[in-house]
Structure 1
């Protein structure tokens, strides 16, 4: 595996951290939404990698090595020497927001033989990540792994962009299939958030839209907990996500509120919140989040036969807001576990995709650090 990385700031050209001649590389370009809206960005990257498979995604912060950047574009180009990749795309507008069907159609484009892993970079503004994952896994009967994340837009929640081999645009979902018998790919996630306050029952919801808790308007109830911070919604919701437990014995899922509807008095979350589920508010501290990142890295490294050459990190914008000036500490915790020889790239997101520890099926998470580790 050969890897080169570069950083672009403002109108300056990309500055490469290292150099290498790559053949038909996978080129991951994660960056600030305003910069990826530039009409020149695709041609600029294409000129650097004429044979590259170029995948774009907007972020709420860019990760490269042990650094967290803002208002930049980070580029990581990877040549797999013993393996193959296949990249496919789709757009939410072509499926009338039937995200499960969209996921099924997307996954069906990948031949199953020798497919080791799918890594998904999805638009993050309107997609129901739970339904998308359910659709992708609907045809998954060969034990293929699945991980990835939802694109971000800092804490603006205006729009997110992604693309494959074209200029970034709204509504895109890009999936990268990794093929090869020598590939070793592992993924894991962990949060570090704790519940507080009373447990409430979801009495009315539809998909990822929450209407009522304990028979009362959910948004009104949530605002009473936030107090003065309610004026800053939906941004302030990132500091107080919901723990959602669908059954007595299920692992609780963390759900971030992506948007609110003052007219309908509802909240739109990043993934499904079924009626009958029990929810509680959550909060965290800097130390809890850093420790959570360390534990996520430990889980991703469990039972690996070889050291990872590449680590793709997707962490939640909510974690970044809590960490503030200390955000890089969670990346440093990850690096302490996976080692200095692993190339690190990634971004801060509106949602993370990975299985729970010890499980095969993927889930949509919020407020977690998610790692996908690669070696050939």
Structure 2
């Protein structure tokens, strides 16, 4: 497995891709919404590398090496020697069909030789939790990682890339086939929970109406106090830890809106009735430590040095870390070492298991790390 990593800018992208020396059979593209030449880029890549699959999505920030940018393309050219890759796509008919979309996508990828599935979805038109549940219903023994694409909040503009297709309202899955693939993964947030557990007594999908039989918005307002006046920023600073049952690893759920008329909380992902919520907070040092721990967990079970690391971190973490955002990427790089190439993006939802022995989940406010190599 050979990897070349480029960070393309609007001015120099054409000349930069001419410097690729390997013959890639897979090219990952994480593209800024500000990058205007994406169609010309895809066209030239297809002309220059007709045997390469092109896969990627729009971002809320591009990760290339240890740098985080807003107007670039993080390009990874990958040449596998033994592993075979396959693309599958599915349209998002409507958000209520996200489970069915995940199930259909997984059925296209399913094969006894499938080792890993990498999934990127339009982040503005999908229920990410239902998507992951649909994927897991078919790919019961296959690891899955990926993320929901970044998008413009005002226009909901987002897109995925699947060869020549650069479109919204679509999900792309990339299957890796062959036992020669070494893959590892982990997800960690760096958040601390505090206060009492609250039982979700009334909810529908990602909207929570009651906690412990009381209006959810009133309880959250009491939690936040005066900080409620800075919402939605305070929602990023004070998400919830969610546990469906006592045996589950908790996942982070971010509050995206407070509905005053319905006295409800609108979360970034599903919060089922019967689950328990507990308030969380963090600071920059703990978020950066969480990214470091994600990298440590990802490589804890592998003996071969990875060639590529794909990082998917939450846009909420970026907004909280501000000018320190590159420090969480640098923390991952320090764990992985200088050899593996690093690519990735800031997302509106991260898809990964918490560790190599955990089930895949949709996460909010985490740093996920997926490493790849060939044996």
TM-score relative to the length of structure 1 = 0.90
**Residues 29 and 57 of structure 2 are in contact (CA less than 8 Å); yes or no, is this contact kept in structure 1?**
yes
Structure 1 gap ranges (5+)? none
Report the 3-state secondary structure (helix = DSSP H, G, I; strand = E; otherwise coil) of the residue aligned with 1:312. strand
Question: Please, which of 265, 288, 291 is the counterpart of residue 290 of structure 1?
Answer: 288
Question: Please, which of 355, 358, 362 is the counterpart of residue 360 of structure 2?
Answer: 362
Structure 2 gap ranges (5+)? none
- Mapped partners of 1:336, 1:242: distance in 2: 29
- Mapped partners of 2:240, 2:155: distance in 1: 18
- Mapped partners of 1:271, 1:139: distance in 2: 21
- CA change 1:260–1:87 in 2 (3 A) is farther
**Residues 155 and 235 of structure 1 are in contact (CA less than 8 Å); yes or no, is this contact kept in structure 2?**
no
* Partner deviation per Cα, 1:144-189 (whole Å, 9 max, x = no partner): 2111111123776834221312343222111100012211111111
- CA change 1:73–1:226 in 2 (3 A) is farther
Instruction: Provide the residue aligned with 1:194 in structure 2.
Output: 192
Instruction: Provide the residue aligned with 1:90 in structure 2.
Output: 90
* Partner deviation per Cα, 1:192-229 (whole Å, 9 max, x = no partner): 10123443222211122222223344345435544565
- Mapped partners of 1:216, 1:44: distance in 2: 57
- CA change 1:16–1:267 in 2 (3 A) is farther
Measure how far apart 1:56 and its partner are.
2.8
TM-score relative to the length of structure 2 = 0.90
Is the counterpart of residue 72 in structure 1 residue 72 in structure 2?
A: yes
Instruction: Provide the residue aligned with 2:135 in structure 1.
Output: 136
* 1:242-257 equivalent positions in 2, closer than 5 A: 242-257=240-255
Report the 3-state secondary structure (helix = DSSP H, G, I; strand = E; otherwise coil) of the residue aligned with 2:304. coil
Measure how far apart 1:255 and its partner are.
0.9
- CA change 1:154–1:71 in 2 (3 A) is farther
* 1:1-376 equivalent positions in 2, closer than 5 A: 1-10=1-10, 12-14=12-14, 16=16, 19-23=19-23, 25-35=25-35, 40-93=40-93, 97-141=96-140, 143-153=141-151, 158-223=156-221, 225-226=223-224, 230=228, 233-234=231-232, 236-258=234-256, 264-357=262-355, 359-376=357-374
- Mapped partners of 1:361, 1:72: distance in 2: 33
- CA change 1:110–1:315 in 2 (3 A) is same
**Residues 207 and 271 of structure 1 are in contact (CA less than 8 Å); yes or no, is this contact kept in structure 2?**
yes
- Mapped partners of 2:66, 2:11: distance in 1: 24
Measure how far apart 1:343 and its partner are.
0.5
**Residues 184 and 301 of structure 2 are in contact (CA less than 8 Å); yes or no, is this contact kept in structure 1?**
no
Report the 3-state secondary structure (helix = DSSP H, G, I; strand = E; otherwise coil) of the residue aligned with 1:313. strand
Report the 3-state secondary structure (helix = DSSP H, G, I; strand = E; otherwise coil) of the residue aligned with 2:46. helix
Count residues in correspondence. 374
- CA change 1:15–1:213 in 2 (3 A) is farther
- Mapped partners of 1:40, 1:258: distance in 2: 35
Report the 3-state secondary structure (helix = DSSP H, G, I; strand = E; otherwise coil) of the residue aligned with 1:168. strand
- CA change 1:167–1:235 in 2 (3 A) is farther
**Residues 4 and 16 of structure 1 are in contact (CA less than 8 Å); yes or no, is this contact kept in structure 2?**
no
- CA change 1:17–1:169 in 2 (3 A) is closer
- CA change 1:56–1:183 in 2 (3 A) is closer
- Mapped partners of 2:216, 2:36: distance in 1: 35
CA RMSD of aligned residues (A): 2.6
- Mapped partners of 2:338, 2:242: distance in 1: 36
Bigger mean CA offset, 265-274 vs 246-255: 265-274
Measure how far apart 1:290 and its partner are.
1.3
